[in-house]
Amino acid sequence: MFANVATSTISAVSQPSAAGGTQRTTRPITTGTSVLGIKYKDGVMLAADTLCSYGSMAKYKDARRLVSVNPSTLIGGGGEFSDFQSITDTLRQNALEDRCTADSLYDEESAQASAKETWSYLRAIMYNRRNKMNPLWNDLVIAGFHESSGTKVPFLGMVDKIGTAFEDDMIATGFGSYLALPILREKWRADLEEGEARALLEDCLRVLFYRDCRALNRVQIAKATEDGVLVSEPYEIDSSWDSKSMVGAKGGLEGDGGW
């Protein structure tokens, strides 16, 4: 549905310009905004809205930016949507190749990359493209599980468009790093139940809808537990515009100041 949303920067590497040079994408065009992620008692949860903006126009309202790339890994992306599509296609192709070249087609767990391995792979990809002065214009959040000392451990990490990578208990990209991260830091606990984690992320998405003009109140939630990953269908969160500062007369004018 979104295959032709924008010309992918991946395909622009070797396209000669009219002047005979090589084209580079200098700024993203069709973009998604914040992605949020937190660890909770049973695993990791991600949240994002479904809006893709074409410049300043809210153009695509069903752009799903939370994706399962294998049975233990979720990825969420902000920034250029066509680049995000190319990244997820590459990860799914890698997952298929891993399964097909495994010692046994029935041993799925040993054939799939863990969330931490996927994060490390994407860090190398993003840094490589940055060094070629042709970055993939995305901020990526990777969530899932990986094995440590024989036990499954929840993982949450981020990679940006120049290859900067880190892990944390809570992550927010885009405007969320300014508006949502303070809320997460104040209210997050390591022993959050699933319902509490979901409510916290919805509160943050609601604030972003109020304050970020590239955000929407149609959202998705995704979770990764030891049993696997699950991405919800899009749904709308409640919002209220009854604040006195929003419904009162502006500048002492009668009505809303319109013609």
252: pLDDT strictly greater than 70: no
Q: What pLDDT, in 10s, does the model give residues 239-249?
A: 888 877 666 66
Q: Which one is catalytic: 7, 9, 22, 25?
A: 25
Which residue stretches of 55-144 are H helix? 81-100, 108-111, 115-131
Q: Which residues pair with 52 in a beta bridge?
A: 60
Model confidence band, residue 1 (pLDDT cutoffs 50, 70, 90): very low
Task: Note whether 165 and 157 are within 8 A (CB).
Answer: yes
Average pLDDT over residues 4-23: 51
The two structure tokens encoding residue 16: 């000669």
- Whether 164 sits among the annotated catalytic residues: the reply is no
Which amino acid, residue 4?
N
Q: What pLDDT, in 10s, does the model give residues 108-156?
A: 555 578 899 999 999 999 999 999 999 999 999 999 999 887 888 999 9
